[in-house]
Amino acid sequence: MPIATVNPASGETLLTFDPLGAEEIEARLAAAHSTFREYRTTGFDERAGLLHRAADLLEHDEADIARTMTTEMGKPVAAARAEAAKCVKAMRWYADRAAELLADEHPSDADVRDSGAARASVRHRPLGVILAVMPWNFPLWQVVRFAAPALMAGNVGLLKHASNVPQTALYLENLFRRVGYPPGCFQTLLVGSDAVEAVLRDPRVAAATLTGSEPAGRAVAAVAGDEIKKTVLELGGSDPYIVMPSADIERAARTAVTARTQNNGQSCIAAKRFIVHEDVFDTFAALFTAGMRDLTVGDPMDESTDIGPLASERGRADLEELVEDALGRGATALCGGQRPQECGKGWFYEPTVLAGITDAMRIHHEETFGPVATLYRIRDLDEAVALANDTPFGLSSNVWTRDEPETHRFVRDLEAGGVFFNGMTASHPALPFGGVKRSGYGRELSGQGIRAFCNTTTVWHAPDTGDR
């Protein structure tokens, strides 16, 4: 895949970039390794000052970088501005809290004595150079949620971004340089996916984090496992959105539209499978379908647009294949199901709701990356849990109920990294983010995220016996 900015609203190639050669990659690896030896000795106050300045500069650049993201991958420009603002928030959150999150831990006096020590503690030290392999769908947020905690922990970063968002990737490198980070602290590698293995195997790289597809995660995990290097993987999702009879159905349906179509439906944590109790199914389906049908599809630079183009022609083709397979096997399109004719040459697809889904259809088993929702009718809580878990993924989940015993059951039994009640899944710096099963392992954000790439070190001091 070429490294290029291709406007998905028109299909026009705007800029192309030559991938880095072997000598250039080596120079960046050497710079990262050298910089880490010095940067790891800096204090939290110095790191926080740098990250606060980066947040201030990103806030200043918000409108410009939003237009860049929209041009490169097609999200509505208002959503792109919101993404930039979210990154600013995360930077400031980690700048203000890293010292507390990574403070030395002290066992109880009794446990220290029992270990035979005079004193003992646990310290969190940075690992080194972290390789980040990042996707195009949230081209700023996915990187910042790794970079902010990693830099505050004293690590340095190498970013291999998706090949269709090179300008966003270069902006991030320049952002950190402009506020005073040493040049080797955060560098972008404009390389194809075929270069990742060699970089990850380099002994100067300590660990890796990847957000992306299941095949990409499997490939990186295999190399890292062979090299015995730590990884954090956030992969696909096919999140359930369960609606029980006690729910506020109008609010659940209204929120469902946003939950399915955020980022043009191209989000791992977007709700994708809508599992609705038979007592409220017809009402929910009518409201949800009407809401999806009312969305405005068009130019992502237009402030009134709800749904922009999909990020790539291949992505739209993949989505079409899933829909066509489902319709061919008996599913019904309550709305959408095709390309909008009025949107020109861009890679647009209509907001779509499919009912009558069975396990014979590919769409029941595979992730839909676009504005396509699947509707399921269930009889009771047991069937809701079974259907929600009938997926290889386990990223997050959404449940609409006002029945307290039901909430306990869903928390206990849903196989997912999060359970969000009476709202849609969202990420926040204070809350751990990640999944189970084929959605990956490890956690980003929160204290768990900043400690993910730290060496947890036991520090033990023997008693002074007076022997000389």
* DSSP label of 105: B
Whether residue 393 contacts residue 236, with contact meaning beta carbons closer than 8 Å, is answered with yes
Q: Name the catalytic one among 234, 366, 406, 444.
A: 234
Radius of gyration of the chain (CA): 24
Beta bridge partners of 457: 123
268 carries an active-site annotation: yes
* Contacts of residue 466, Cβ cutoff 8 Å, sequence gap at least 6: none
404 carries an active-site annotation: no
Residue whose C-alpha is closest to residue 264's, from 370, 342, 352: 370
Whether residue 344 contacts residue 363, with contact meaning beta carbons closer than 8 Å, is answered with no
Q: Is 204 exposed, middle or buried (0-12, 13-18, 19+ CB in 10 A)?
A: middle
* DSSP label of 460: E
Q: How far apart are CA 191 and CA 17, in angstroms?
A: 10
Question: Any long-range contacts for 193-197 (C-beta under 8 Å, 24+ apart)?
Answer: 193/1, 193/160, 193/163, 195/19, 195/20, 195/25, 195/160, 196/131, 196/133, 196/160, 196/220, 196/223, 197/223
Number of helical (H) and strand (E) elements in the chain, helices listed first: 16, 19
Backbone phi and psi for residue 208, each to the nearest 5 degrees, phi listed first = -145, 150
Q: Name the catalytic one among 268, 335, 343, 454.
A: 268
Q: Is 281 exposed, middle or buried (0-12, 13-18, 19+ CB in 10 A)?
A: buried
> Which residues are known catalytic residues?
234, 268
